[in-house]
Structure 1
């Protein structure tokens, strides 16, 4: 093929296609060759200085690789960065340790720091149930509104996080007749929609003891102390449009009346339990007292703190 080269004197390989397409044998540009050899030298230097090559013949203990002359590892880099962050945070954390949640809220700078740092705590320990923004996942309370079962003051929020909550409501399937269950379910819906409720429904509500938990006015308030503290046992406010158990409405109210909340041995009972996040006796808690304090501030500022 080379002896029949139609392009004599050209630096080609003698391979031709379609008469004039041919393969040239020109060398790469000098800058390209320099970059090529520099990259090879860089790879060699990198493998000498940094951890690089796995050594599968060593025991599978996570240490089977070349360490590099610099001894650099991602863990060391992480620990260095973490130490820098902790050094910056130490000043704020020391101040918070000697303050109450109410005092933190009086300091705008510490409040902003607390909200920023507690967002991670909320994401780790609370968002699975209450949503990333406190909007409440299905079946769990919303923390971003002004509706509270046990109270939305800083003290009450701290108490809730510390000790947890476990509501209780008697299952009335074997206590009330079908007509009484229907009357009370419709009564609850009527109150939630702004209605006043019929005298017959109020009489049944009081006769069956619903007022013992939901209050004389159905708003979940048993008493209000002179200092403004609301006394409640965690029963829902029946006079607003917020439903503890979705989707709400007649069927939801009827289900709760029939099967109650957290009733042992009742298969269809509502499950409403929040775990405790503090140390109880010899049991190791998940959060320190300072972390609970900071979370209380965070939840209080979500939009519904009292």
Structure 2
């Protein structure tokens, strides 16, 4: 139980707290501070009445002023689209290979497409479109399905190997672990390594060439340079989607790969599909 008493020097009552003989005085708060506190409380109550504030089960109180950040953003978007309506109409109507012939429209499409890419595509392909393991680099000329503007637009619209769009690009590599003996897998991996690396086991690679011709050439081609009509990658250019070391290649051959890209046709407006296709095509890898 602390004991309050009056300080002999100041004549102010103490709080009863003492630290090493130093006692705390029970001075009242400054009036200006108290009035500021009261005003902020009043302001806070008024704010919660006027603006959205209190969380409820399925939303929040809307406030008597009906103010909404969502409505403000929607109004700004509508205003922006109105200002660019003519460019949007031109973009929707243009023959995409001829887009660069209209510099103003081309600049608008690329700028709009960059925003669409950052909002919807960068999560997988990276903010700079350089890709990651399992996600293609969009800056180079190594395209599984083709890098011309029309093919890029088709890929964006329909996606790859998804179950949503019947027109999606589709191919499927078999899991050769169920087909080949482990020794044959080792051999064909060594053959694939020999196509782009100077360091390999020549005898094993020679045996793997036979396995490749019998099991892999039908899709990847006799020279292993791939087939875009099937989405079969070029195996001779040292560009790898999942990795080109022996362990990764062994896993790929044994268990296969099956990357999926969603169709953006149902999610994006036609102008956005065209714009993001133009943006990707402009990054340097478009053909």
Structure 1 and Structure 2 fold alike (TM over 0.5): yes
Once residues 22 and 251 of structure 1 are traced to their aligned partners in structure 2, the CA distance between those partners, rounded to angstroms, is 72
Instruction: Name the CA shift for 1:276/1:28 in 2 (closer, same or farther; >3 Å).
Output: closer
Q: Distance in 1 between matches of 2:14 and 2:211?
A: 102
Q: How big is each residue's C-alpha offset from its partner over 1:148-167, in whole Å with a ceiling of 9 and x where there is no partner? A: 11221112212222333232
For 2:264, the equivalent position in structure 1 comes to: 277
Give the 3 Å change call, closer, same or farther, for CA 167–194 of structure 1 in structure 2.
farther
Distance, in Å, in 1 between the alignment partners of 2:208 and 2:263 is 36
* Correspondence for 1:188: 192
Asked if the contact 1:165–1:273 (Cα under 8 Å) also holds between the matched residues in 2, the reply is: no
Task: Give 1:281's aligned residue.
Answer: none
- Structure 1 gaps of 5+ residues are 222-230, 260-267, 279-284
Shift of 1:191: 0.9
Corresponding position of 2:81: 86
The higher radius of gyration belongs to 1
Q: What is the aligned counterpart of 1:239 among 231, 236, 239?
A: 236
Hey, what does 2:165 align to over in structure 1? none
Structure 1 distance, partners of 2:172, 2:221, is 15
If the length of structure 2 is used for normalisation, what is the TM-score?
0.70
Q: Judging changes above 3 Å, is the alpha-carbon distance between structure 1 residues 122 and 181 closer, same or farther for their aligned structure 2 residues? A: same
Q: How does 1:276-295 map to 2 (within 5 A)?
A: 276-278=263-265, 285-295=266-276
Give per-residue Cα distances to partners, 1:4-46, cap 9 Å, x unaligned.
9865xx78558898999885968847x6677566546645654
Contact 1:130/1:136 (<8 A) preserved: yes
1:140 counterpart residue number? 135
The yes-or-no answer on 1:168 pairing with 2:164 is no
How many residue pairs get matched? 272
**Cα distance, 1:80–1:200 mapped onto 2, change above 3 Å:** closer
Alignment of 1:1-306 (within 5 A): 12=12, 23=25, 28=30, 39=40, 42-43=43-44, 46=47, 49-51=50-52, 60=57, 62=59, 65=61, 67-68=63-64, 70-163=65-158, 164-173=168-177, 176=180, 178-193=182-197, 200=206, 204=210, 207-208=213-214, 210-220=216-226, 232-244=229-241, 246-257=242-253, 259=254, 268-278=255-265, 285-306=266-287
Q: CA deviation at 1:188?
A: 0.8
The 2-side partners of 1:237 and 1:176 are apart by: 22
CA contact (8 A) 2:184 2:211 kept: no
Match of 1:265 in 2: none
Query: 2: distance between equivalents of 1:62 and 1:186?
Result: 60
- 8 Å CA contact 1:100–1:293 kept in 2: the answer is no
CA distance in 1, matches of 2:113, 2:138: 15
Structure 1 residues 194, 112: closer, same or farther in 2, change over 3 A?
Answer: farther
247 and 109 in structure 1: CA distance in 2 versus 1, 3 angstrom threshold = same
| Alignment partners' CA distance in 2, 1:174 and 1:67 | 64
Cα RMSD (Å) of the superposition?
4.2
Q: Is the 8 A contact 1:118 1:298 kept in 2?
A: yes
Task: Check 1:289–1:138 CA distance in 2 against 1; reply closer, same or farther (3 A cut).
Answer: same
In the alignment, is the contact (CA less than 8 A) between 2:173 and 2:256 conserved in 1?
no
